[in-house]
Structure 1
Amino acid sequence: MMKSALTVIAIPLVLFVILSACATPVLQPIEDKTASMKITIEEINKFAKIIEKARQEQLHILSPHWFAKAEASYGKAKSKAEKGAAVTDIREDMADATTYLINSEKSAAVARTTLAQAIESRRLARVAGATVLVKQYDKVEERFLKLAAAVEKNRISYTEKNAPKVSEAFRDLELIAIKNKTIGEVGKVVQQAEDSGAKKYAPQALEKAQRHFSETDEFITANRYETVEMQKRVDKAMFFAKRAIVLTDLNKQLEKVTSEGTSLWVEGIIEKITFNLLARDSRDLDMDSQVMNILDSIAALQENNKLITQKLVSTQNELEETKTASNTQIQALSQALASYQSKSIQDQKTKEHILAEKKATETKLESERQFNQKFIKIQNYFRSNEAEVYKRGNQLIIRLKGMKFPVGQAFIMPENYRLLSKVQRAIGEFENPSAVIEGHTDSTGLKETNDILSRQRANAVKEYLIANGTLPVNKIASRGYGSEKPLASNATPEGREANRRIDVIVTPGFKPGKS
Structure 2
Amino acid sequence: MHRLLRRTAVLILLALIVPFGGASAQNIDDEVEALNTRMENARSNHLNLIAPRAFREARDQLNDAREKLREGDKIADIREAVQEGQASLNEAEKLQDIGNVILEDAIAARSDALAARAPEFAKEQWMEAQEVMEEAGREIEKGDQNDARDKARESTQLYRRAELTAIRADVLGRARDARSRARAVEAEEWATKTFRDAQSKLQQAEQRLEGDRYDRSSARDVAEEATDQYIHARDISQQAQRVDDDVEVRFEEVRLQMENAMMPVLETLNLDATFSQGFEPVAEEMNAAIQSVYADRENLQSTLADRQREIRRLLAKVDSMDARLAELEEREQEVSAELRQRQERERTLERARGIFGDNEAEVVLRGDELIVRMYGLNFPVGSSEIQPANFGLLTKLQQVLREFPDAPITVAGHTDSRGNDASNQRLSEQRATAVQEYLMANMSVLKPNQIKSVGYGESRPLASNETEQGRAQNRRIDVTISLP
TM-score category (smaller protein): 0.5 to 0.7
Question: What is residue 218 of structure 1 aligned with on the other side?
Answer: 207
1:174 to 146, 150, 163: 163
Matched with 1:29 is 20
Higher RCO, 1 vs 2 (CA within 8 Å, ≥6 residues apart):
1
2:230 to 219, 241, 245: 241
The aligned residue for residue 192 of structure 1 is: 181
- Out of 40, 54, 57, which is 1:66 matched to? 54
Corresponding residue number in structure 2 for 1:305: 297
Distance 1:309 1:276 in 2: 21
Q: Is the 8 A contact 1:73 1:93 kept in 2?
A: yes
Matched, 1:317 2:309: yes
Residue 114 of structure 1 and its aligned partner are, at CA, apart by 1.5
RMSD value, Cα: 4.9
Structure 1 residue 299: Cα displacement: 2.6
1:102 equivalenced with 2:102 (yes/no): no
* CA apart distance, 1:504: 6.4
Q: What pairs up with 1:107-506 in 2 under 5 angstroms? A: 107-132=95-120, 133-255=122-244, 256-258=246-248, 264-283=256-275, 288-321=280-313, 366-371=351-356, 373-375=358-360, 396=375, 430=393, 441-442=420-421
CA contact (8 A) 2:187 2:195 kept: yes
Structure-1 separation of matches of 2:318 and 2:181: 65
How many residues of Structure 1 are paired with residues of Structure 2 in the alignment? 388
Change beyond 3 A, Cα 1:52–1:234: same
Distance 1:47 1:362 in 2: 63
Distance apart, 1:86 and its partner CA: 4.8
SS at match of 1:374: coil
Kept in 1: contact 2:102–2:148 (CA 8 A): yes
Post-superposition Cα deviations, 1:311-346, rounded to whole Å, max 9, x if no partner, equal: 33223333554576689899x99xxxxxxxxxxxxx
Check whether the contact 1:282–1:293 (CA below 8 A) recurs between aligned residues: no
Any unmatched runs of 5+ in structure 2?
A: 1-10, 325-345, 364-369, 398-412, 432-454, 460-464, 466-471
Q: If the length of structure 1 is used for normalisation, what is the TM-score?
A: 0.61
Instruction: Tell me whether 1:91 sits opposite 2:84 in the alignment.
Output: no
The question of whether the paired residues in 1 share the 8 Å contact of 2:51 and 2:137 is answered with yes
Q: 1:207 to 1:277 in 2, by over 3 A?
A: same
Instruction: Give the conservation status (yes or no) of the 8 Å contact 1:368–1:513.
Output: no
Q: 1:76 to 1:314 in 2, by over 3 A?
A: same
How much has 1:145 moved relative to structure 2? 1.0
- Conserved 8 A contact 1:274-1:281: yes
Q: Tell me, what secondary structure is at the counterpart of 2:247?
A: coil
Distance in 2 (CA, whole Å) between partners of 1:118 and 1:97 is: 27
Give the Cα separation in 2 of the matches to 1:67 and 1:437. 42
Q: Structure 1's 290 and 173: CA in aligned 2 closer, same or farther, altered over 3 A?
A: same
**Deviation at 1:371?**
3.0
Identity of counterpart residues, as a percentage? 16
| Cα 1:94/1:296, change in 2 over 3 Å | closer
Unaligned runs of at least 5 residues, structure 1:
1-19, 334-360, 379-390, 404-409, 413-423, 444-449, 460-483, 489-493, 495-500
CA contact (8 A) 2:118 2:163 kept: yes
Out of 310-319 and 109-118, give the one that drifted further: 310-319
2:37 to 26, 39, 49: 49
Distance 1:263 1:26 in 2: 94
* Counterpart residue identity of residue 134, structure 1: K
CA positional deviation for 1:188: 2.4
Q: C-alpha displacement at 1:211, in angstroms? A: 0.7
Q: Equivalents in 2 of 1:83, 1:276: separation in Å?
A: 79
